[in-house]
Structure 1
Amino acid sequence: MKTDVEELTPTRVKLTVEVPFDELKPNLDKAYKEISQQVRIKGFRPGKVPAPLIDKYVGRGAVLQEAVNDALPELYGRAVEESEIFVLGQPDVEVTELEDGTQFAFTAEVDIRPKFEVPDYDGLEVVVEDAEVDDEQVAETIDNLRERFASLTGAERAAEDGDFATIDLVARIDGEEIEDASTTGYSYEVGSNSAIEGLDEAIVGLAAGEDKTFTGTLVGGEHAGEEAEITVTVQSVKVKNLPDLDDEFAQLASEFDTIDELREDVRVRLGRQVKLQQLSEARDKALEALLEKVDIPLPEKVVDEEIDRRNQQLEQQLQMAGMTKDDYLKEEEKTAEEFDTEVADAARLAVKGGFVLDQLAVQEELNVENEELSEYVVSQAMQMGVQPQQLAEYLTQNNQLPAIVSEVLRSKALNLVVEHVTVKDESGNEIDVDAVQRELNGETVQAEDAADENAAEVQAEGGAPEEAPEEAAEAAAEEAPDAEAADEQDGKGKDA
């Protein structure tokens, strides 16, 4: 087999592949066998029809076409491997020559990852936010805890902001009641602005038994986005009572005996959170700093696919929240053009980041051990609340493991960058990322031990799940890579 590579652009090539006809013999034999099972010729059982009769009644051309279709994926994969290119997505294949008994040739145009070297990243410096916890943050966290233990008592007065009102809602358009926009006995926190715009203003000042009609835009159901006349009737008004901030509350809401002990525990937990955020910010900014040193062309098709993926993901989230895109843009105070520009910029950055980390993994000869893959699956399963074996089974059955392997590799490559970057906080203090990570890991030894045990189970047990957690696993696969934008065929192009 002979393969020539023509560079159409820095991110797209055309492979011209010439194959001696003899190499198609196994595929021709397979084609005759399969066609023999399908045709019915008097005097011959299915599967026993001789090749000459198939040529006569079905046609040699049909056999050749069947053989070529069967051979193309493997031949294309061999051409990609021999050419040492990193392909992205599916190729556009065209058979250019098919001479029976002599020659077979085809071309394949496909996007590729641009060829480049990751520059030296020693000496990069990034600045992250200070990891400080002040009294105000501690107080806010404890106040949120008090909210969880609040009680409600009836109030013989009109509703005010902060009250909880039990209400009935009736929505009408052109005088006709909209059933899916009406409800009864709904408990609503006045002033939360968590429902139809205008509802809070309508409720304030109403006492039990009183009602008010206002015009609002429906946010869900068949008539979402349409204006309706909405009547709200207050059934009752209740006042929220927060528990006193004392030792009794500490004993009620925690394992501690005193409020001072609870405050200290909250401070420690918040400290751990801000350090985790600091580490995450350091990783993000380290990658940003590295990407600023790299200038590479990006395949537009891959970028467009990443843009589409992000838009689809947002659309799903908005549907779950009962919002339209117009509602979202209004809330974010953005125009459609500004939003599209931001998505496109983010998509380009994600694709570029994937390319750079992939190349760094190649340059540094990084690889993924089975234990690392198992730990990743266990971690994702714990976050989603499913059994690791279930998630592993789903990922395997749906061919998601290559994407997961790519994500783990990229994470290792980014870890390597962070190790060589100088990280300082806004106050100018240098941060030992490894020391912070060890400190945080030391506080979560039990969780890590549990993860290790589960990882071992994933490797040792292959039991099929009672019910595959499809939605959770699909979410994991989406999170894993921005890899799918840059690594659809894990760089080997095995399928034509």
Structure 2
Amino acid sequence: MKSAVETLNPTRVRLTVEVPFEELKDSLDAAYKKINQQVTVKGFRKGKIPARVIDQRFGRGAVLEEAVNDALPKLYTEAVNEAELNPLGQPEVDITELKDGETLAFTAEVDIRPEIQIPDYSGIEVTVDAVEVTDEDVEKSVEQLRERFASTNPVERAAAEGDVVTIDLEAKVDGEVLPDGVAEGVSYTIGSGELLDGIDEAVTGLEAGGEATFTSQLKGGSAEGKDAEVTVKVTAVAARELPELDDDFAQMASEFDTLDELKADSRKRLENMKQYDQATQAQERVLDELLKLAEVPIPEKLLEDEVKTRKHNLEHHQLGQMGLDLAKYLEIQGKTEEEFDAETKEQAVKGIKTQFILDELVNKEKLNVNQEELTEHLMRRAQSSGMSPDQFAQAVVEGGQVPMLVGEVARGKALAVVVEAAKVVDTNGEVVDLEDEEDEAEVTEAAAETAEAAVEGETEEKNEA
């Protein structure tokens, strides 16, 4: 077999392959055998029809077609390996010559991973938020805990903000009660904003037995988006009572004996959370700077497929679970379809560039993934998927996804190498040493999560949230 490679552009090549006919012998034998099992010829037992009879009855062309279809994948793979290419996606194959008994020639165009020069990343410098936990932050955290231990007691007075009211609701559109517009015994905290717009004003000041009517745009149901006349009747009013902030509360709500110990623990937890957020911010910003420094050609077909995949996943999986279609989603986001398409393409480009350059770094730095790192990553992925580690591991193995997980961890290690070489300062001008804040395993796993989010296009959404 002879093969040659023509570079069409930095991300696409054309393979030209010539194969002597004798190299098709195994495929021809397989073609005759397959046809033998599929056809019947009077006078011959099934599977025992001579090749010459098959040629006469069904045509030599049918045999050649079957043989070529069998041989092409193997011949293509041999040519790719011989040329040491890294193909992306399926090739476009064109048979240019097929002479029976003489030769087979074909071309195969395919996208390939571009050659990437890793830039000098030692000069990268980024600024991140400082880790600052104020007394107000601690008080807010303790207050949220206090809210969880609030109790309610019935009162005989008008309802006020913060009270829990039990209500009956009836919604009408154009004077007709909606089939799904009646609800009884609904518990609602005034001021929570969890029900209809206008309900807080309607029930505030009502005592048990009181009734009010207001107009509100429905957020769901059969008349979603329409204005409805809503009648609300208060059947009970209860006041929320918060426990006293003292040592007794600390003992009830935590493992600590005193309120001071509880507050100290809250401060430490908030510091850890802010340090983790700071590390993630550093990784994201260092990655952005690395991508700016690197020249990474993007294969057009790969980009086109990636954009289609992202749109499909959003429309048919994420939005479907929320009961939305793309038009409603764009309306909520305040975006046009053109803006959405541009953003999706931009995220896809960033994802592809991230994967290419971090994979190249893995090779350059000769980074390996050990079993402990893979297990740690698998545990996190299992947790985020809602599956048990054993179930997730089984699904990964059965789906042949182990190399994908290894790649995610390796890219995380590559990003961690770049972050370690970069200069990270906070908004106070202080140098941030991320290794002082987390052990190596946590740094690697956090970097893997950041790299994975960039590849899958989740970073922007996470930041907006």
Q: Provide TM-score, normalisation by structure 2.
A: 0.86
In the alignment, residue 415 of structure 1 is paired with which amino acid? A
**CA displacement at 1:196 relative to structure 2:** 3.8
Distance 1:201 1:309 in 2: 46
Please name the residue that 2:460 is paired with: none
Distance 1:157 1:286 in 2: 58
The 8 Å contact of residues 216 and 227 in structure 2, kept in 1 or not, is answered as: yes
In the alignment, residue 351 of structure 2 is paired with which amino acid? A
Measured against aligned partners, the alpha-carbon deviations of 1:424-456 in whole angstroms (never above 9, x if no partner) come to 1111211222222239969xxxxx9xxxxxxxx
Distance 1:484 1:83 in 2: 30
The 8 Å contact of residues 403 and 484 in structure 1, kept in 2 or not, is answered as: no
Q: Kindly name which structure, 1 or 2, has the bigger radius of gyration based on alpha carbons.
A: 2
Aligned CA distance change for structure 1 residues 178 and 104 (closer, same or farther; 3 Å): farther
Distance 1:415 1:273 in 2: 19
Please name the residue that 2:267 is paired with: 267
**CA displacement at 1:369 relative to structure 2:** 3.7
Please name the residue that 1:461 is paired with: none
**CA displacement at 1:131 relative to structure 2:** 1.4
Measured against aligned partners, the alpha-carbon deviations of 1:386-418 in whole angstroms (never above 9, x if no partner) come to 332321221122232332222122111111111
In the alignment, residue 405 of structure 2 is paired with which amino acid? I
Distance 2:323 2:204 in 1: 25
The 8 Å contact of residues 155 and 238 in structure 1, kept in 2 or not, is answered as: yes
Please name the residue that 1:355 is paired with: 356
In the alignment, residue 362 of structure 2 is paired with which amino acid? A
Please name the residue that 1:76 is paired with: 76
Aligned ranges 1:81-96 → 2 under 5 Å? 81-96=81-96
Please name the residue that 2:396 is paired with: 395
**CA displacement at 1:30 relative to structure 2:** 2.1
User: Which region of structure 1 is more displaced relative to structure 2, 104-113 or 202-211?
Assistant: 202-211
Distance 1:19 1:482 in 2: 43
The 8 Å contact of residues 423 and 431 in structure 1, kept in 2 or not, is answered as: yes
SS across alignment from 1:184: strand
In the alignment, residue 49 of structure 1 is paired with which amino acid? I
The gaps in structure 2 that reach 5 residues or longer are 458-465
Distance 1:483 1:72 in 2: 33
C-alpha RMSD over aligned residues = 3.2
Distance 2:324 2:160 in 1: 27
Q: Provide TM-score, normalisation by structure 1.
A: 0.81
**CA displacement at 1:153 relative to structure 2:** 2.1
Identity percentage over the alignment? 49
SS across alignment from 2:346: helix
How many pairs align? 452
Please name the residue that 1:254 is paired with: 254
Measured against aligned partners, the alpha-carbon deviations of 1:48-101 in whole angstroms (never above 9, x if no partner) come to 333333333333322222222222323222322223333222222232322222
In the alignment, residue 166 of structure 2 is paired with which amino acid? T
In the alignment, residue 148 of structure 2 is paired with which amino acid? R
In the alignment, residue 119 of structure 1 is paired with which amino acid? P
Pair 1:135-2:163 in alignment? no
Pair 1:418-2:424 in alignment? no
In the alignment, residue 114 of structure 2 is paired with which amino acid? P
Aligned CA distance change for structure 1 residues 41 and 308 (closer, same or farther; 3 Å): same
**CA displacement at 1:124 relative to structure 2:** 1.6
Distance 1:204 1:215 in 2: 16
Distance 1:410 1:288 in 2: 15
SS across alignment from 1:431: coil
In the alignment, residue 409 of structure 2 is paired with which amino acid? V
Aligned CA distance change for structure 1 residues 435 and 415 (closer, same or farther; 3 Å): same
The 8 Å contact of residues 118 and 360 in structure 1, kept in 2 or not, is answered as: yes
Please name the residue that 1:377 is paired with: 378
The 8 Å contact of residues 118 and 294 in structure 1, kept in 2 or not, is answered as: yes
Pair 1:10-2:29 in alignment? no
Measured against aligned partners, the alpha-carbon deviations of 1:110-163 in whole angstroms (never above 9, x if no partner) come to 222322211111122121111121111111111111121111222334443333
In the alignment, residue 241 of structure 2 is paired with which amino acid? N
Distance 1:4 1:181 in 2: 71
SS across alignment from 2:191: coil
Please name the residue that 1:50 is paired with: 50
User: Which region of structure 1 is more displaced relative to structure 2, 432-441 or 356-365?
Assistant: 432-441
Aligned ranges 1:116-195 → 2 under 5 Å? 116-180=116-180, 182-195=182-195
**RCO higher in structure (CA 8 A, sep ≥6):** 1
Aligned CA distance change for structure 1 residues 213 and 80 (closer, same or farther; 3 Å): farther
Aligned ranges 1:88-487 → 2 under 5 Å? 88-180=88-180, 182-221=182-221, 223-315=223-315, 316-323=317-324, 328-329=329-330, 332=333, 334=335, 336-438=337-439, 480=452
Distance 1:194 1:221 in 2: 15
In the alignment, residue 408 of structure 1 is paired with which amino acid? V
